[in-house]
Amino acid sequence: MRRRHRCLTPDIIWLEFPPQAGHEQAGRRPAVVLSPATAERYPAIIIAPGLLRRR
């Protein structure tokens, strides 16, 4: 069984984004949790994906 992680603002977590067509981000990427702690009772959280290299 997978252990649940308690995501709090502003945690940085690693997410696996599914493969995409085009220029969308895919693969393992860092993300910042933006949802307030009071949103924990809901199944969705708000995150912002991060970039791994400078463009």
Q: Where are the domains of the chain?
A: 1-55
d(CA 39, CA 51) in angstroms, rounded, equals 25
Task: Pull the structure tokens for residue 29.
Answer: 């990427």
Report the b/e string of 22-31 with b at 16+ CB within 10 A: eeeeeeebeb
Give pLDDT, residue 1.
44
Block residue for tokens 């603002």:
9
Closest alpha carbon to 40 in 2, 3, 5, 1: 5
Tell me the residue type at 14: W
Give pLDDT, residue 20.
74
Tell me the residue type at 22: G
pLDDT digits (tens, 9 = 90+) for 9-50: 677 888 887 877 777 777 888 888 887 766 566 666 777 777
* 4 or 51, greater pLDDT: 51
* 2 or 11, greater pLDDT: 11
